[in-house]
Amino acid sequence: MLDYATLKIIWWVLVGVLLVGFAIMDGHDMGVGTLLPFVGRNDEERRVVINTVGPHWDGNQVWFITAGGAIFAAWPLVYATAFSGFYWAMLAVLWALFFRPVGFDYRSKVHDPRWRSTWDWGLFIGGAVPPLIFGVAFGNLLQGVPFQFDDYLVSTYTGSFWQLLNPFALLAGVVSSAMITLHGGVYLAHRTEGAIQARATTAARSAALLAVLGFVAAGLWLRFGGIEGFAMAQAPDPNAMPDPLAKLVVRSADAWWANYRRLPVLWALPGLGVGGALLAAGLVGARRTLAAFVASSLAMAGIIGTAGAAMFPFVMPSSSMPSASLTVWDSVSSPMTLALMLGATVLFMPLVVIYTGWAYRVMRGKVTVEHIRANSHSAY
């Protein structure tokens, strides 16, 4: 039987894996949606773009739902506090996501160009808005979120929606959008040919450069721009039951770099983020699109992992009451809950991965304008 502290660490890793899985699997079809109005110049080309992700996008949503469910079950205090502070931001994500199922299902039902163009831009909103908001949320986590707990552990958010849209958070949103656009462009280049592939390749390479520049700028801003990180002055017992007020947290300018000083091997994560994006740009330009997709996936894992490694053990720091910050040690569920969930994850996650791999293998290959013309009455 694993002890409580080990279960807490395992679930920190698993939530990270789910977030990276969501970025890779749902990220490429969101990236495709972001590029849809730009790489498709007419209705047939846009149908080509949509058909590259049409059979898979809803299955990829499993990663998003699973990641949200895992946070709810493993980190209930984080879930409750985040939805209090990020309420309007999360609603904006939800409203944007509404366009995806309706757009995919109804775009091709009517042959009116205005109808189809409207849903094309709806799919653009559904693909572009969520990554931007998720990036903004990460940017706010690195600065600290203004919330506090009372003696009954009831959280109170003391900020406003507009406060979330600060310059550093917006830069983080740009990085998130760029890496998702890179991933979508690489996927489109892999599944299409001709003019669409050329436009997707150009978009992917531009997005890669923007992602790298934004990622490096955000790191320099964190180190030298006056943003204070969070550090434990008095840590709780890792095996104790959760109590977010049973610790002492201080802020310092270089706190987010402490883990990198203690474990220099962690520098491999930002190296993977930068190197993976640049490698993806080079490979997609050389038309080695499958290798480019792998490289862009590694880039996203590196970028997300960089933020996670910097913040550990913090999950949701508090700027207004630092000692109320939520961490891996004091925001989790009971040992039994974590153990039962771990068993279910070990059983079902391989099945999800195997089924997803099988589905992509069955529906692999290029989607062309000729294919669309020959299947003019298809669902997408």
Residue 24: how many other CB atoms lie within 10 Å:
20
Contact 115, 54 (CB under 8 A): no
pLDDT for 378: 66
What gap in Å lies between CA 68 and CA 21, rounded to an integer? 12
Q: Quick check: helix, strand or coil at residue 356?
A: helix
Residue 92: how many other CB atoms lie within 10 Å:
17
DSSP state string for 270-296:
HHHHHHHHHHHHHHHHTT-HHHHHHHH
The residue count for the chain: 380
Cα angle, residue 318 at apex, residues 316 and 322 outer, rounded to 5°: 125
What gap in Å lies between CA 272 and CA 270, rounded to an integer? 5
Residue 342 class from Cβ within 10 Å (0-12 exposed, 13-18 middle, 19+ buried)? Answer: middle
Which amino acid is present at 16? G
CA distances from 307 to 63, 242, 374 (A): 20, 24, 47
CA-nearest of 142, 124, 145, 34 to 82 is: 145
What gap in Å lies between CA 196 and CA 200, rounded to an integer? 6
Residue 316's H or E segment, with its range, is: strand 314-316
DSSP state of 326: E
Q: Write down the domain spans for the chain.
A: 4-228+332-374
CA-nearest of 108, 66, 124 to 351 is: 66
Phi, psi for 228 (deg, rounded to 5): -85, 135
Q: Is the pTM of this model over 0.85?
A: yes
Q: Is the peptide bond before 55 cis (omega within 30 degrees of 0)?
A: no
pLDDT in tens, the chain (380 residues): 788 999 999 999 999 999 999 999 999 999 999 999 999 888 889 999 998 998 888 888 888 888 888 898 899 999 988 888 888 888 999 999 999 989 888 888 888 889 999 999 999 999 999 999 999 999 999 999 999 888 888 888 888 888 889 999 999 999 999 999 999 999 999 999 999 999 999 999 999 999 999 999 999 999 888 899 999 988 888 888 888 888 899 999 889 999 999 999 999 999 999 999 999 999 999 999 999 999 999 999 999 999 999 999 999 999 999 999 999 998 899 999 999 999 988 888 888 888 888 888 887 888 878 877 777 666 67
Residue with tokens 């207004």: 320
Residue 351 class from Cβ within 10 Å (0-12 exposed, 13-18 middle, 19+ buried)? Answer: exposed
Contact 185, 199 (CB under 8 A): no
Which letter, b or e, does each residue of 127-154 get, where b requires 16 or more Cβ atoms within 10 Å of its Cβ?
A: bbbbbbbbbbbbbbbbbbbbbbbeeeee
Residue 373: how many other CB atoms lie within 10 Å:
10
Contact 19, 304 (CB under 8 A): yes
What phi-psi label fits residue 229: left (phi over 0), alpha (psi between -120 and 50 degrees) or beta? beta
335 alpha carbon, distance to own chain's centre: 27
CA distances from 309 to 16, 17, 43, 259, 260 (A): 10, 13, 44, 7, 8
pLDDT for 379: 62
pLDDT for 377: 66
CA-nearest of 230, 82, 91 to 155 is: 82
